[in-house]
Chains A and B, each alone.
Chain A
Amino acid sequence: MNAGNILVWIVWFAAAAGCLGSALAVVLLRNALFAALALIGNLVSLAVFYLLLSAEFVAAAQVLVYAGAVMVMFLFVIAYVGWNLDVAWTGGPSWQTLGGVLAAIALLAQLLVVIALAATNQLKHAKHVSANFGDPASIGRLFLSNHLLAFEVISIVLLVAAIGGVILGAQSRRTRTGGRR
């Protein structure tokens, strides 16, 4: 074990601790501002994992899109509605909560299965990391070949979301100006 490997382990443990700690903080903190800040920490520590897995492009995109752009919107909303909302959640378990719990259970089951398979050396595909693994060109090639359908579906979802945002914004503007527009 050389110095570089020890450094990688240290970084891995720091990122893992940061990831778990910030994830707990997101769920447990009552203050919405701190929860959002913890979520930023969580996303950044995930980016560190991507870096350790030599997926620099994914790491940079994670920081740029999630930790940067998306979370700025979160903080923006929290600043508008105030971060000291101490009102407890009164809504009962909705279908969204149920779906979330089911999805979490499914993910946990997958995770456990993969860990068990890896521990007993039964994973089908051995890892193959070539020199250009994770660089933008190979990711783009995968998007436009093996994963074309998912790529196109996501683009339609995003388009629908954008149009929905425009319609919602236009409606609120119409009601505010008294229907003059």
Chain B
Amino acid sequence: MSTVLPLATAEVWWIGAIEALVVINILLLAFAFMTLIERKVLGRFQRRFGPNRAGPFGIIQPFADLIKLVRKAPFRPDRLIHPVLYLGAPVLSATMAFLAFSVIPWGGGWELHGYQINGQVVDVPISLIVIFAIGSISSYGVLLGGWVSESKYALLGAMRAGAQLVSYEVALSLSVLGVVLMARSLSLTGIVAAQHNTIWYVAPQIVGFACFAVAGVAEVGRAPFDLPEAEQELVAGFHTEYSGMRWGLFQIAEYVHMITISALMVTLFFGGWLFPVLHRFGPVWFLLKLAIVLFCFIWARATLPRLRYDQLMNLGWKVLLPVATVNAVATAFFVVLR
């Protein structure tokens, strides 16, 4: 009865609390500027400027958007039967999105005035599974939000989201098995440490990386896998009946989820915060790699058309799942035989 979660390294609890506060605020800022950068980059891909009115290069556009969202009248459907669930769904989505980032390592840890500062908010020995567990809970926000809206478009969006998340979660978990087998660890800090003196896992695990990239985009529900909110078919999908900052919370959840999946990709396949030179600047390397991955997310959105529903299911179950399974089994053989 006296055991609680054993922490990997001794860190005073209030340092962890400060880290959490800083990380959440950085994530919020990153979300705000991701919306701007996405619109700018998409604009450039389509040979137009993107937002450029608010401030130089449109740099205060996110804050203008925030003020607009907060001041909007929050309407809600008249026929609402479960108002608590209606309000709780976006809150659940956003909370779980922030929670998942807490186990991502972004630095090697430092010692400052005798205090140990870790490179992540919490370090648990099974952090990879924790991320997937939190991710599976966060899908309830989308599902519930779509249903309790009592609208056919929202319901259809929620059903699509449910089917898509369940299908691609399997492929996503299987695609990382190769990395877990090679690093012999389920801890993200352990996986980063295992890439310290070897080549990054993207090279030996190129198949797993490809599966992870596709399944990751699908898990976040971004283009070309944005069927749950396909504008041309479902108005706005699961968040059709949400407005103002309630919609904003769903938006925050989607972007933070995207940042977390990208950070996970950097951690698993690109050595996390490691870089051949200047180890002390771990967070800088981490942010740099993260920015490149996030750019690829936007690139995919600008380039690829949305999949049809049957194509989505075929890709998930008949291509990604077998390929990821074969990759995991083959990796297991190599790891044992080596």
Contact = CB atoms under 8 A, between A and B. Distances in A.
Q: State the main secondary structure of chain A at its contact with B.
A: helix
B165 interface: yes
B1 interface: yes
Contacts of B166: 69, 72-73, 76
Contact of A57 (B129, B137, B143, B155): B129
A52 B4 contact: yes
Choose among A8, A57, A64, A79 the residue with the greatest number of B CB atoms under 10 Å from its CB.
A64
B334 interface: no
Shortest 5 CB-CB distances between A and B: which pairs?
A: A68-B136, A63-B133, A64-B133, A60-B129, A54-B3
Interface size grouping (class) on chain A: 20 to 34
Interface of A: 4-5, 7-8, 12, 33, 37, 40, 44, 51-54, 56-57, 60-61, 63-64, 67-69, 72-73, 75-76, 79-80, 129, 135-136
Contacts of B130: 60
A46 B84 CA distance: 24
Contacts of B163: 76
Contacts of B129: 57, 60-61, 64
B3 A52 contact: yes
Contact of A72 (B85, B124, B165): B165
A54 B139 contact: no
A5 B5 contact: no
Nearest to B3: A54
A129 B3 CA distance: 10
A63 B3 CA distance: 20
A54 B6 CA distance: 8
B240 to A, nearest CB: 16
Contact of B169 (A51, A53, A69): A69
Interface in B166-181: 166, 169
B158 interface: yes
B177 to A, nearest CB: 12
B125 A135 contact: yes
B183 interface: no
B228 to A, nearest CB: 13
A79 B3 contact: no
A52 B137 contact: no
Contacts of B165: 72
Interface string B128-154: 011011111101100100010000000
Given A8-B4, A61-B133, 6 more contacts: A37-B85, A54-B5, A56-B124, A57-B126, A68-B136, A76-B162
A124 to B, nearest CB: 20
B140 to A, nearest CB: 7
Contacts of A80: 159
A69 B136 contact: yes
A64 B1 contact: no
B186 interface: yes
Contacts of B139: 68, 72
Choose among B133, B135, B162 the residue with the greatest number of A CB atoms under 10 Å from its CB.
B133
A93 B53 CA distance: 70
11 contacts: A5-B2, A33-B82, A56-B125, A57-B126, A67-B136, A68-B169, A72-B140, A72-B165, A79-B143, A79-B147, A79-B155
Contacts of B158: 79
Contacts of A5: 1-2
A40 B4 contact: no
A61 B3 CA distance: 19
A101 B300 CA distance: 54
B173 to A, nearest CB: 8
A115 B158 CA distance: 45
A172 to B, nearest CB: 16
A43 to B, nearest CB: 10
A67 B133 CA distance: 9
A79 B137 contact: no
Nearest to B81: A84
Nearest to B158: A79
A60 B136 contact: no
A69 B163 CA distance: 11
Choose among B129, B143, B169 the residue with the greatest number of A CB atoms under 10 Å from its CB.
B129
Nearest to A56: B126
A114 B1 CA distance: 17
A72 B125 contact: no
